[in-house]
Amino acid sequence: MVRQSRSSILHRRHVDHLDLFARDDHILSSRDDCEPANPANTLTDRLNTLLNSSGPGYTLPLCPDTQYLIEAPLLFFAPNQEISTAGYPTGDERAVLVVNGPVMNGQGHTTAVDGTCSDCDGVRLRNVQINGTRLGASPTTGGANIEMGGSNSDQLIEYVHSFDPRSWSCMHITEGTLTCNNVTVRHNDIGPCGTDLFQQWADGISVSCQNCHVWNNTINNPTDGGIVLFGAPGTLVENNTIFVQNHTLLGGINMVDYLPWSGNYTNTIVRNNMIMGGFATEKPEGNETKGTNDDDVIIKIGIAIGPRTWFGPQFGNNVSMSGTVLNNVLTGAFGYGIAMSSAVNFTVENNSLEGNTSFIGARGPNCSSTDTMPSPEPFVVQLDNVQQSTLQIDFQNISDANGLTCILPPEGGDFWPFGGGPTTTAPTSTSSPTSTSSGGATQASNGGGGGLSGGAKAGIALGVIFGTLGLAVATWFIRKHALARAATRRQSAYIQPSMRQIS
C-alpha cells in the first residue's frame, strides 16, 4: 500500500506457490487486425516503436488468446493512445501481457504498461490481462503492474485483469506533480496481489491522482490494501467489491496515508462498496452459524481512517482530513469493521453489517508493548484525537487505536461465519466498442464474449469460492434492503475533542 515499510505480523502459515495462472504458450496465427506476439525476440521493441511512432489517437491492437512476453514496460507516448485486445473481449480471451524481464538482487522489471509520460492525456488501457509473474518470489523494487496517471488528465482503465505483481501493487494511479486529474478505473477484475507473509504484501488498486472515479471493480485476494487512497482529493470510490479467499488482508479500503497530499482527503468519497472478510470453508451442520477457515483468513480492518490506525505514532501528529465514508456494507470475518483515529472533519455514516459477521483477532508479536489493543469490534474510534467529525452512533470509543493491523487471526476454531462469497465472472457489457479522445469520458464498452477470469479459475481450483450465483443475487437484494434500513435508523453524533496539530 505505501512505499515505506510498515509494522505488521508474520503469519504462521507457509505459503506454497501454486502455478494456477500459467497459460499455454500457444500463439494464434498472425492476423490483419492485431499485432502478433512473434517474433518474440523483437516483441517489446516492436510494440513500443508502434506507440512512439504512430502519434496521437493510435490504438495498439493485441490478439485475443495470445500471450505477449514483454521484457520492459510498454510506454504510451502521445495523447489518446490505446492498448487493447482486438474485439474487446472481457474474459480469458483477453490478450495477456506477461512481465518477463530480468530480476536480480531485488531489482528489475516490474511494470507491464506505463501511461505516465509528459503528454499522455486521454490514454486508455482496455480489455487486457496483466500477469506480473511474481510466482511466489519476494517482492522486487519497482512500479506496479500498471502505472498510470502522472501529470495527465482523462485517462481510462477498464475491463483489465491485473494479478500477481512483482512489486507493491496490481495498479497504481500516480499523482505526478500533484496535477494528475480525472482517471476512470472501472469494470476491472484485480488480484490476487502479493501474499500475507510479512512485508510480502501488495495492493489491489492504489490511487493518488485527484478527481478519479473508481467504480464497479472486483478486487480478489489483495494482501496490503484492497483500494488505497493516498489522499486523492475529489476521488469517488463506489460500487466496488473487495474480498479475500486464502490470504489475510491488512485493510479493505484505506484512507491513512499522509503523503503526497499532506493528508488532504477533501471531497474524497467512499460509498456503496461491499467488503467481504473471511468465511468458513467447511460445510455447516444443523443450525451452525460459525465454522473453521482452512487458512485462518480475515480482513484486519475493513475501512481504515487516519494514519495512527495503520502506522501508530510513526508519523507523529499527522492526520487525515475531510473525507467521506457512506453506505458501505461489510460481511464475513474482520478484526475491526471501520477503525478511525487521527482524523479531522470526516463524515462516516450509514455503514452497515450484512448477513453473518465475526470480529476476531488478538495481539500479535509485532504489536507495540506500550499500546493497549482494543477488542475486535465492528466500529471503533479514538475520540481524543478525532475532531469536527460526524459519525454514525454505533461507533465504540477506544483509548488506543494505534497500529491495529498487528493483530493475528485466531488459530483455528469455529469463529468464521458461514455465508457466501461473490462470483468472480469478469464484468461484461453488451454495448459496442467506442473510441473517444478522452478516456475519462468514454462510455463503458465491450463487444464480445464473457467468461471467467484467471482469478475466477484460481478460486475454483482452490475450492474457496463460496456460494452460488443465486446466493450472490440474494446478497445483492439483502444489501439494498440493509442500506435502506440503515439510512432510516441511524443517527449521527457530533464529536469535537481536543485537536492534534498536523506536523
pLDDT of residue 94: 98
Distance (Å, whole) CA 97 – CA 117 = 20
Residue of 299, 263, 155, 276 lying closest to 214 (CA atoms) = 155
DSSP 312: G
Distance (Å, whole) CA 451 – CA 368 = 46
Q: What is the 3-state secondary structure (H, E, C) of 284-295?
A: CCCCCCEECCCC
Question: Model confidence over 27-62: pLDDT tens digits?
Answer: 333 447 999 999 999 999 999 999 999 999 999 999
pLDDT for 25 beyond 60: no
Indicate the range of 295-299, 349-353, 470-474 predicted with least confidence: 470-474
Question: Model confidence over 220-232: pLDDT tens digits?
Answer: 999 999 999 999 9
Question: Model confidence over 475-490: pLDDT tens digits?
Answer: 444 444 444 444 433 3
Distance (Å, whole) CA 211 – CA 137 = 35
pLDDT for 209 beyond 70: yes
**Strand, coil or helix: 300:** strand
Name the helix (H) or strand (E) containing 481.
helix 469-489
Mean pLDDT of the chain: 83
Question: Model confidence over 147-206: pLDDT tens digits?
Answer: 999 999 999 999 999 999 999 999 999 999 999 999 999 999 999 999 999 999 999 999
Question: Model confidence over 403-456: pLDDT tens digits?
Answer: 999 999 988 899 999 986 665 444 444 333 333 333 333 333 333 333 334 444
pLDDT of residue 314: 85
pLDDT of residue 218: 98
Query: Does the domain made of 40-495 have the CATH classification 2.160.20?
Result: yes
Residue of 368, 355, 296, 310 lying closest to 329 (CA atoms) = 355
pLDDT for 258 beyond 70: yes
Judge whether 192 and 219 are in contact, CB under 8 Å. no
Percentage of the chain beyond pLDDT 70 is 77
Percentage of the chain beyond pLDDT 90 is 71
Kindly report the pTM of this predicted structure. 0.81
**Strand, coil or helix: 457:** helix
Distance (Å, whole) CA 79 – CA 456 = 34
Backbone angles phi, psi at 96, to 5 degrees: -115, 115
Distance (Å, whole) CA 125 – CA 156 = 6
pLDDT of residue 1: 52
Question: Model confidence over 67-123: pLDDT tens digits?
Answer: 999 999 999 999 999 999 999 999 999 999 999 999 999 999 999 999 999 999 999
pLDDT for 254 beyond 90: yes
Q: Quick count: other Cβ atoms within 10 Å of Cβ 51?
A: 20
What string of DSSP letters covers 201-227? B-EEEEE-SBT-EEES-EEES-SSEEE
Distance (Å, whole) CA 185 – CA 371 = 38
| Residues near 388 by beta carbon (within 8 Å), at least 6 away in sequence | 344, 345, 495, 496
Residue of 6, 1, 100 lying closest to 315 (CA atoms) = 6
Distance (Å, whole) CA 339 – CA 397 = 10
Q: Alpha helix locations (H) across 423-468?
A: 454-462
Looking at per-residue confidence, does 314 or 236 come out higher? 236
pLDDT of residue 503: 31
pLDDT of residue 235: 98
Domain ranges of the chain: 40-495
pLDDT of residue 421: 62
Distance (Å, whole) CA 397 – CA 11 = 29
Tell me the range of 123-132, 282-291, 457-466 where mean pLDDT is highest.
123-132
Residues 251-255, mean pLDDT to the nearest whole number? 98
